Structure 1
Amino acid sequence: MFAIFLFMIFTAVPLARCGGIDDTPTAYEVLQQYDFPIGLLPKGVLGYKLDSSTGKFSVHLNGSCSFSIQSYELKYKSTFTGVIAKRKLSELSGIQVKILFLWLSITKVTRDDDELEFSVGITSADFPVDNFNECPTCGCGFDCDSRKIGNGGLLSSS
């Protein structure tokens, strides 16, 4: 019974916040441990669960999150999931990008040196890693000074 309890503690990381009192890494720090920039996640992550043996994870927000960056609109569900490995996020569910008039699910993100490749099924697009050094804010992305932000400045509900 004790072994099962230890397994649960080490494989399911409890909800953690930036600057928390405990030593549990934040979701942003976990991304960095797998060689990804923090800007893949919006500000306001409440917590996450990670099974370190399989890489399966879920990330929790206070609500759905949407924002625009350059010519792209992005939407995150309040909980999104996937599998993380060094330089690879796969089996993603709950993250979408609007291309022209279609909402497409981002299914995979891979890092190749200083480029990130985002896959949406049969097509993909590459972007410099440096574009993701900062976390976007739900509701306004990186253009928060000129827009009113909903829900206390962290998340917009959809």
Structure 2
Amino acid sequence: MDATATVYDVLQQNCLPRGLLPQGVQSYTLGDGGALEVTLPGECNFFVTADGKQFKFRYGHTVTGIIEPGSISSINGVRMQVAFEWLGINQVNRVGNQLNIQLQNSTQPFPISAFTHSASCN
């Protein structure tokens, strides 16, 4: 791997959009078997719009998961608001031009275009 690669490059090398992570990543490590750990300056909240609806995401200071081509599994540190409840995101899979985000008890599809750009934290 290129020593100057950013975590956004790692996402794109695995056929995932850079917008899965917000702007401002401080550091990351990529270990054996695709173990990925990302450090943000602090908690990060942002909205993603898809099909005319807004979805709120919350990223913790540290986000971890296992990255491989087309997916990130065993995700920790990322939640998505569904109705009035915050649900943990377990896995993200790319299927063609769609991302399927697996929550605790459901799967939410998003077009890849919803994650083309990295969001700014609020």
Q: How high is the TM-score relative to the length of structure 1?
A: 0.71
Which contiguous aligned blocks of 4+ residues in structure 1 show a shift greater than 4 angstroms? none
Q: Following the alignment from structure 1 to structure 2, what is the Cα–Cα distance between the partners of residues 88 and 138?
A: 23
2:9 matched to 1:26?
no
How many pairs are equivalent? 118
RMSD of the alignment, in Å?
A: 1.4
Corresponding residue of 1:125 = 108
Q: Following the alignment from structure 1 to structure 2, what is the Cα–Cα distance between the partners of residues 102 and 23?
A: 40
Q: Following the alignment from structure 1 to structure 2, what is the Cα–Cα distance between the partners of residues 114 and 68?
A: 20
Corresponding residue of 2:70 = 87
Q: Following the alignment from structure 1 to structure 2, what is the Cα–Cα distance between the partners of residues 74 and 110?
A: 17
Contact 2:33 2:66 in 1 (8 A): yes
Q: Following the alignment from structure 1 to structure 2, what is the Cα–Cα distance between the partners of residues 119 and 131?
A: 16
Q: Following the alignment from structure 1 to structure 2, what is the Cα–Cα distance between the partners of residues 110 and 82?
A: 13
1:36 to 7, 13, 16: 16
1:64 to partner: Cα distance: 0.9
Of structures 1 and 2, the one with the larger relative CO (CA 8 A, separation 6+) is: 2
> Greater strand share, 1 or 2?
2
Corresponding residue of 1:68 = 47
Contact 2:48 2:114 in 1 (8 A): no
2:35 matched to 1:56?
yes
1:130 to partner: Cα distance: 1.3
Aligned-partner SS, 2:33: coil
1:131 to partner: Cα distance: 1.4
Q: Following the alignment from structure 1 to structure 2, what is the Cα–Cα distance between the partners of residues 99 and 115?
A: 19
2:29 matched to 1:46?
no
Aligned-partner SS, 1:31: helix
Among all aligned residue pairs of Structure 1 and Structure 2, give the percentage whose two residues are the same amino acid: 35
Aligned-partner SS, 1:107: strand
Q: Following the alignment from structure 1 to structure 2, what is the Cα–Cα distance between the partners of residues 120 and 64?
A: 19
Q: Following the alignment from structure 1 to structure 2, what is the Cα–Cα distance between the partners of residues 84 and 23?
A: 18
Q: Following the alignment from structure 2 to structure 1, what is the Cα–Cα distance between the partners of residues 96 and 121?
A: 28
Q: Following the alignment from structure 1 to structure 2, what is the Cα–Cα distance between the partners of residues 49 and 94?
A: 15
1:33 to partner: Cα distance: 0.5
Q: How high is the TM-score relative to the length of structure 2?
A: 0.91
